[in-house]
Structure 1
């Protein structure tokens, strides 16, 4: 599917599982979505491997209180998906739209790059 949509049902199951687990602050479930050698880039930092990604998830789940809502989802290829999420909460600025660029392989996330829209 290449059309932009806010309907996440067309996303791969692992992406939906990750987004749901992260929104609930369920670090073990979110971390289980990544391959052992996965890479995450967020807020200018790079996290490699399971241990660093678990640490990033733990910090990002507890640093601020916020809600998320998808505003767009698009397939960029067989292994690449983008989801734009609006965050609203008690972080500086209070509202942010973030692009989540997922790369998946064998039903797990191999890379995630999060950047402002």
Structure 2
């Protein structure tokens, strides 16, 4: 079900603000200790791997991002759609960030 952007849980909006600002410490506080992130077909397990992924991806390309849509899949799963433009292959893309939340922390994030 599509929802307005302001109906995304605080966990997601706070994480996205931190992620966009490339503030690793602030972004990491929203992950569970055993969280998983899947991006570009590779899965990162736990906070150490996720932090390393975030640090690497933050410096790999320069881009802007705009949150363009949101939907709620179930009580724990939300999708935040972003439009990115930058110096990565293709130059622009729409990506779905699919979040699974438990107890107000991110347990899983899939970017596709």
Q: TM-score range by the shorter chain?
A: over 0.9
Q: Which runs of 5+ in 1 are unaligned?
A: none
Equivalent in the alignment of 1:3: 2
How many residues end up aligned between the 2 structures?
112
Superposition deviation, residue 50 in structure 1: 0.5
Equivalent in the alignment of 1:76: 73
| TM-score where L is the length of structure 2 | 0.96
How far, CA to CA, are the matches of 1:3 and 1:113 in structure 2? 18
Does residue 104 of structure 1 match 2:104?
no
Worse-superposed segment, 106-115 or 58-67: 58-67
Superposition deviation, residue 4 in structure 1: 4.1
How far, CA to CA, are the matches of 2:84 and 2:57 in structure 1? 12
Superposition deviation, residue 71 in structure 1: 1.4
CA RMSD of aligned residues (A): 0.9
Q: Which runs of 5+ in 2 are unaligned?
A: none
How far, CA to CA, are the matches of 1:27 and 1:62 in structure 2? 12
Matches within 5 A, 1:53-72: 53-72=50-69
Equivalent in the alignment of 2:44: 47
| TM-score where L is the length of structure 1 | 0.92
Q: Which SS does the other structure have where 2:2 is aligned?
A: coil
Structure 1 ranges of 4+ moved more than 2 A:
2-5
Equivalent in the alignment of 2:35: 38
